[in-house]
Amino acid sequence: MIAAPARLAAALLLVALAALPLAAQAPTAPEPPEALARAHVSALVGAVHAARIEDGDTPAARARIRAAVAESFDLALWRRAVLGERVGAFGATDLAAFDAALPGYFAALYLRYFAGKAGRAPEVGSVRPGRGDHFVAVAMRHEELGDLDLLYRVRVREGRAQVLDVIVGGISFAIMHREEFGALIDRKGPAALVAYLDENAI
């Protein structure tokens, strides 16, 4: 009569002991920011290259590239960087239209300048810290400009990485576009800039 309760107690003890390793496992160490930054750029480069290889020059490929850029770039920060103090010239409607047009415009720029020669993916290299962010080196071959070395400026916060800038030959794309956009806003106003983005987006 005592055997059945004893067997039950033994079974419960085994279940409890089996659960101990799970409870005692140390929490997984977070991935270093350098690794996150490099993985983020590698994912962007890989997604764009795959879209070009698998879908060619089609609306489907352009949609995939636009989605990859929108996911990888910190577009709110890019907006602040390229508009600067001229953001005050935008009303709510124009600003919403600017935000809607920016991903497609940057995707077109990315495809034109940073995607590399068709059939050859850019190569992601070393990572170095700087100015509170991480700079990821990427080597690529441009269809017209030949071999180029790029630096992606990536910010990692709370385990999330996003691209803040792309630097080519020491020239910041964000600063270059602030000057270009600012001149257009000064001449023709915010609506003209939004129209320009829409016309040149993918």
Give the least confident one: 8-17, 55-64, 174-183, 188-197.
8-17
C-alpha span between 11 and 66 (Å, rounded): 57
**In this predicted model, which residue has the larger pLDDT, 177 or 136?**
136
Residue 124 dihedral angles phi and psi, to the nearest 5°:
-85, 130
User: Residue 27 domain-assigned?
Assistant: no
Q: What is the pLDDT of residue 15?
A: 44
C-alpha span between 165 and 16 (Å, rounded): 53
* Digit-coded pLDDT (tens) for 13-66: 444 445 445 445 556 667 889 999 999 999 999 998 888 888 888 889 889 989
Cβ atoms of residues 182 and 86 within 8 Å: yes
Residue 4 has pLDDT above 50, yes or no: yes
Cβ atoms of residues 135 and 151 within 8 Å: yes
User: Residue 149 domain-assigned?
Assistant: yes
Would you state the structure tokens that stand for residue 169, as one six-digit string? 């030959």
C-alpha span between 192 and 73 (Å, rounded): 24
Apex 188 CA angle, 182 and 189, nearest 5: 70
Cα distances (angstroms) measured from residue 131 to each of 119, 125, 154: 34, 19, 11
| Domains identified in the chain, total number | 1
User: Residue 8 domain-assigned?
Assistant: no
User: Residue 16 domain-assigned?
Assistant: no
Element (H, E) at 133: strand 133-142
CATH code at 61?
3.10.450.710
* Digit-coded pLDDT (tens) for 109-133: 888 877 766 667 889 999 999 989 9
User: Residue 190 domain-assigned?
Assistant: yes
* Digit-coded pLDDT (tens) for 80-118: 889 989 999 999 999 999 999 998 998 888 888 777 666
Element (H, E) at 165: strand 160-168
Cβ atoms of residues 69 and 103 within 8 Å: yes
Q: What is the pLDDT of residue 93?
A: 93
